[in-house]
Chains A and B, each alone.
Chain A
Amino acid sequence: MDRRSFLSRSLALGCTAAASPLVTPVAFASGPWENRLVVIILRGGMDGLDVVRPVGDPDFAALRSPATDGEPPFGTGFYAFHPALAPLAPLWADGSFGAVHAVSTPYRDKRSHFDGQDILEAGTGGVNARRTDGWLNRMLHTVPGLSADTAYAIGQEQMLILEGDAATARWSPEARLQISAQARRLLDVVTHDDPLFRSAMDQAVAITDQLKGDAEAIESITENMMGDSMMASVAGGQHTKLVEFAVTRLLSDTRIASFSLNGWDTHQDQHRSMPRVLSNLSDVILMLRAGLGPVWEKTAILCLTEFGRTARQNGTRGTDHGTGGAVLYAGGALRGGQVNGAWPGLQEADLYARRDLMPMGDVRATAGHVMQSLFGFNREIIEGSIFPGLQMADGPGIVL
């Protein structure tokens, strides 16, 4: 799509930068939805068994070193959450944070990060059914007339989950573009015949134009977010900037945002690395809640990873690539305070390939139920177009 149609579609939906004062965002919302969906890709393979510990399973203790990292902050009795998630205790208590356990994508056996992430983001049935578009994009594609900024991929990396035929927006909070009007016209000339460059250039110009109007609003949102004393690292790390940007978009016309958090590949000394990445994640969730304010009630956050890790701790106080794992979720639009999903058990015969947590459900079904509830997609669309071949069965009861 060129810049003109990007802008005109935005205009048609009444969302120029000038017309979207962020203080009253809801009144100017675009698209058919008020609800927001944030998909966070946890790259590296989050160890679901360490984050949501099945302490009530008699075989769990033998698989892992005894936990010496403190009292579980919350849980269900059978499950205890990792102590680094303690800042999320109020969300667990008010039902806006929870988990689905023993789930995975259909990816099996090779346990490659890179294939695993591609399959997670493509939402397909496995390596043999590879696609070059992502499931969030296919979801958008089923709804005609959406503006490109309905969905944002945020950060410097490509996000396959939002790639595809539907127009989406991509930006990174650190990108800038200040050019003269004439240079802008000449840039059109020198990128015009190459669709890849033309589209990137047009979007860069359109997005920076739009962001100029938002500068003040961003400042006040940042203040709100930083006022939350529960956050572990208040000073602006990379993830802080991602979330600030996501919040400004979600308070404006954006309904779907996706970005990734790295660092989950805990092969070694997991007791040291896991608290770091989990407190980043809990910061991100708390910042989204503080920044979104009343919109939090209309928001669902799904934290998805390419695979779980070995049930048994490895020889270096870490875990290797596995299969079944957990989905973490948050937001006022979901039913938290619970750990959903069927439990396979942890005896050797219960494990996948006698090694990994056995997946009892498909991650895509969890995402499918959320889309059904948030955006009103029917099952045929989800199982036919968004996740081809998926059998959703009964919903994980995480939707309201």
Chain B
Amino acid sequence: MVFDPHVAVIRFGMGLSPHHAVPESVNALLEELTGPDHMASAHIIPPFDAAEPSLFTQSVVYRARHQARGTTDFDAAEARVKDMQKETTAAQENNVRATYGRAVDSTFGMRERLVAFWADHFTVVAVGGNRRHLVSAYIEEAIRPHIAGRFEDMLRAVETHPMMLIYLQQVASVGPGSTIGQRRNRGLNENLAREMLELHTLGVGSPYTQQDVRELAEMLAGVTWTAADGQFFDPKRAEPGQETVLGVAYPAEASMETIHTVLRDLAAHPATAQHIARKLAQHFVADQPDPELVAAIAAVYLESQGDLSACYAAMLNHPSAWWPEAQKVRQPFDFIVACTRALGLRGRDLASLTTQDYRRLLFNPLRVMGQSWQNPTGPDGWPDRAEDWIIPQTMAGRVTWAIGAPRRLMDPLPDPREVVHWALGPSADPAVVFAAGAAETRHDGIGVVFASAAFNRR
């Protein structure tokens, strides 16, 4: 079980393409991560602090409409709200196209895979209002810059990010004994504290208790956000008194500094190392990963104090990572990207689609395949096992896309007998090669290649 350049792009990247080289070594894959982020500048996604309409803009526009009720200014204020809703939709469309563009144009695509992995690990869903475009903005700001850095830095960026504070309702949590808690009879909301332990750091099977959740929620009480002031630590909301989380007592006087300290401690916890190592191996290598692979990544995580590049290197240098049999299934977004790459299309071909075609070919099909854009049902993100993705209804979605979409993306279609090799590389499954040549039409031939088990596995 040794490094294989085609397996590298299929399993750890975005899929083979006639336009892109394959990596010569593990180091070549890793260098794409630590080198300059060409894709970010080629396909722009405005980060949260620059994305419009921002939450501040929105608060101003909504307030204006509220104040205009019953006055002659109301129609204009209402029109501004409507415009803003259109801007949100357009901004989301830009972000979706850019995310596709990066995945299609990147040489190997491991960076794009890791961004998606961490965005899923730290899932934020846009609930209510005009926030649909701000999930990508959050990922651009809090996740993407940190994927090859230290886990602790990503953790800090994510857990104090306005989108996370809003999604897991930290903005509403108040220490019951704090000034504001006493005056307004308000109290804690445990949501962020619980998911931080259960999903983001230690993992649900590890030894934390309800008491740890509670005390962490008390510690976090001062962390808040408003549209006008952004994210900040508000001592008037902070719960007085000392808190103990996982046996560590933190200073009674809470501040952003104590929050950073507890996040650092959570990041350094051995259970976190184990949790992150297992998730990485499970996402990239196998639904039931080799325990030795997981142990190797976890050991490097602890030794390197959560250096994620070192963890990826540990994974890629482990023989289990190169098991020839493909054990994972491409998730729907990756499936569409891999088809697009195998057809020899580029990001600019997707960018030139009309809005109607973008919806029909890139956005809506994700839902039919079971992965509505940035909309998993909960903070645990998308499932990660083959049998979660390949069920009759979503399989029908893949087949329908495989046969119907390519001819709407390019005309004329390439020869399926060539596409099968672009898609599967030198060790193409003979049954798929046969089927590609036996189809009556080009679109059916390409369709059966893309719908094949061999292509959907990685």
Contacts and interface: CB of A to CB of B under 8 A. Distances in A.
Interface of A: 43-44, 109-115, 127, 156-158, 163, 169-172, 174-180, 182-183, 186-187, 189-194, 196-198, 200-201, 203-204, 207-208, 262, 265, 267-268, 314-316, 318, 320-321, 353, 355
B213 to A, nearest CB: 8
Nearest to A356: B210
A353 B393 CA distance: 43
Interface string B348-381: 0000000000000000000110101000011010
Given A43-B378, A191-B451, 8 more contacts: A127-B205, A169-B392, A180-B444, A190-B448, A193-B453, A204-B393, A267-B189, A315-B186
A177 B367 contact: no
The 6 A-B pairs with the shortest beta carbon distances in the complex, nearest first, are A315-B187, A194-B453, A190-B452, A316-B172, A172-B393, A200-B395
Contacts, number: 170
Nearest to A163: B387
Contacts of A158: 383, 387-388, 391
A19 B367 CA distance: 33
Contacts of B43: none
Contacts of A194: 453-454, 457
Please classify how large the interface on chain B is, using the bins under 10, 10 to 19, 20 to 34, 35 or more: 35 or more
A177 B403 CA distance: 10
A167 B174 CA distance: 50
B394 interface: yes
Nearest to A176: B400
A204 B181 contact: no
B81 to A, nearest CB: 20
Interface string B422-442: 000000010110110011100
Contacts of B189: 267-268, 314-316, 318, 320
B394 A156 contact: yes
A321 B448 CA distance: 46
Contacts of B370: 156-157
9 contacts: A43-B378, A44-B378, A174-B367, A183-B447, A190-B453, A262-B377, A267-B191, A268-B189, A315-B187
Contacts of B392: 169-171, 175, 200-201, 203-204, 207
A174 B370 CA distance: 11
Nearest to B457: A194
A182 B393 contact: no
B397 interface: yes
Interface in B171-218: 172-174, 176, 181, 186-191, 194, 198, 204-205, 209-210
B399 A187 contact: yes
Contacts of B400: 176-178
Contacts of A156: 367-368, 370, 372, 393-394
Contact of A186 (B204, B386, B396, B438): B438
Interface string B244-258: 000000000000000
Contacts of B390: 196-197, 200
A207 B390 CA distance: 15
Contacts of B451: 187, 190-191, 201
Interface in B107-129: none
B169 interface: yes
Nearest to A155: B393
A196 to B, nearest CB: 5
Contacts of B399: 177, 179, 187, 201, 204
B325 to A, nearest CB: 11
A207 B454 CA distance: 24
A172 to B, nearest CB: 4
Contacts of A113: 378, 380
A158 B370 CA distance: 9
With a 10 A CB-CB cut-off, give which of B372, B388, B438, B451 has the most chain A CB atoms.
B451
B368 to A, nearest CB: 6
A183 B449 CA distance: 11
Contact of A114 (B169, B380, B403): B380
A125 B400 CA distance: 41
B225 to A, nearest CB: 14
Contacts of A314: 187-190
Contacts of B391: 158, 170, 200
Contacts of A321: 190, 194
B452 A315 contact: no
Given A156-B394, A196-B390, A197-B395, A186 B444 contact: yes
B456 interface: yes
A250 B189 CA distance: 41
B270 to A, nearest CB: 19
B350 to A, nearest CB: 23
Contacts of A268: 169, 172, 189
Contacts of B209: 109
Interface in B54-76: none
B287 to A, nearest CB: 11
A265 B189 CA distance: 12
B80 to A, nearest CB: 25
Contacts of B403: 179, 183
B435 A190 contact: yes
A43 to B, nearest CB: 7
A189 B435 contact: yes
